């Protein structure tokens, strides 16, 4: 599959680079197609560590019930996250030791923030 890079203008008249595959063959038919930059080199998938607990929604950390070095059981409440006027209990997905806490009480955190790390 030979590939060449071409520059084209988008609807906002900005010049962007596309990768053109000139020899893409499917079922005996050769196709030419372009891929936007976000598809040219996708990020490699990496499995998440079960002990890394990230926020699934933006919210305010109301209470932290554990401290670094505490032993926790699966299902134990680690902290309370208020999101959309509701209190969400963040529980441990596994047994382990609290390795680190990355948030503080009464702080606003965005979605995807690493809150607690538990070593197995």
Q: How far apart are alpha carbons 24 and 27 in whole angstroms?
A: 10
Q: How far apart are alpha carbons 34 and 20 in whole angstroms?
A: 5
N-term to C-term CA, the chain: 45
**The pLDDT value given to residue 65:** 97
Q: What is the pLDDT of residues 59-110, one digit of tens each?
A: 999 999 999 999 999 999 999 999 999 999 999 999 999 999 999 999 999 9
Average pLDDT along the chain: 85
Architecture of domain 52-119: Beta Barrel (2.40)
Encoded tokens for 10:
């988008």
Q: Using DSSP, state whether 52 is helix, strand or coil.
A: strand
Greatest CA separation for the chain: 62
φ, ψ of residue 37 in degrees (nearest 5): -55, -35
The pTM of this model reads: 0.62
Residue 3 has pLDDT above 80, yes or no: no
Residue 20 has pLDDT above 80, yes or no: no
Q: Which residues of 59-75 are buried (b: 16+ CB within 10 A; e: fewer)?
A: bebeebebeeeeebeee
Kindly list the domain boundaries of the chain, sorted by start residue. Answer: 3-40, 52-119
Q: How confident is the model at residue 21 (pLDDT cuts 50, 70, 90)?
A: low
| CA angle, 57 then 59 then 62, to 5° | 135
Q: How confident is the model at residue 117 (pLDDT cuts 50, 70, 90)?
A: very high
**The pLDDT value given to residue 46:** 74
**The pLDDT value given to residue 43:** 67
């Amino acid at each position: 599959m030979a590939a060449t890079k071409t520059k084209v203008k988008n609807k906002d008249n900005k010049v962007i680079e596309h990768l053109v595959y000139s020899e893409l063959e499917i079922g005996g038919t050769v196709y030419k197609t372009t891929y936007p930059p976000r598809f040219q080199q996708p990020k490699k998938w990496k499995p998440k560590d079960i002990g890394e607990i990230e926020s699934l929604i933006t919210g305010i950390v109301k209470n932290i019930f554990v401290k670094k070095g505490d032993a926790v059981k699966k299902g134990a409440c680690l902290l309370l996250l208020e999101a959309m006027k509701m209190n969400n209990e963040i529980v441990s997905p596994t047994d382990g030791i609290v390795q680190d806490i990355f948030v503080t009480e009464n702080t606003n955190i965005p979605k995807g923030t690493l809150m607690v790390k538990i070593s197995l």
